[in-house]
Amino acid sequence: MEKAYVQRKNIRLKNYDYNSPGAYFVTICTEKKKKLFWKNEIDPDKFTWEVVGANCVRPRNLPLSDSGKAVLEELERWNNTYDPVFLQSYVIMPNHLHIMVIVSADENGRPQVAPTLDRMVKQFKGAISKKIGGTIWQKSFAEHVIRDKKDYETKTNYIYENPLRWHYDELYTKEKNIW
């Protein structure tokens, strides 16, 4: 008897070259949306952002678990891993993370040699899994190609506001943290 496989929906932008320079908003979730990255809830009075490079910011005072700290360490290594790729901003949530990735072009507008977005995310997930001793990730990831300045600002604001809006987030679950 032949096994029936579920056909996964293609979520990639049709006719878009993912090797081209541009900005990408990426969401990576834990398997079954398990809350692995925070120890407890955020204290809005202590939450702030810090600049960690010319154009890169990251949240401060997130209640990160050991797994969340492993994710943070890998994110901080990102800009030193791929020359033409710049991690512009990111936020680690209890069961997912958002990153804004910019792939640069040379002076003639040609993409510089960089791995594909798929490859970068796969390597990132693999590094975290190796650090913590097992896979914790949902299959694949969600991405959004940034199309213009307004789109860029919308996604950047989403990253900044996400920790403070956690209880209203589409990925919010009532399950307790399992760090």
137 falls within a domain = yes
11 falls within a domain = no
Q: Which CATH number characterizes residue 158's domain?
A: 3.30.70.1290
Domain total for the chain? 1
141 falls within a domain = yes
135 falls within a domain = yes
pLDDT of 49-93, one tens digit each? 676 655 556 666 778 899 999 999 999 888 888 778 888 888 998
pTM over 0.75: yes
78 falls within a domain = yes
8 falls within a domain = no
121, 99 in Cβ contact below 8 A?
Answer: no
173 falls within a domain = no
What is the span of the domain harbouring residue 159? 22-168
38 falls within a domain = yes
pLDDT of 81-129, one tens digit each? 877 888 888 899 889 999 999 888 777 766 666 678 888 899 999 999 9
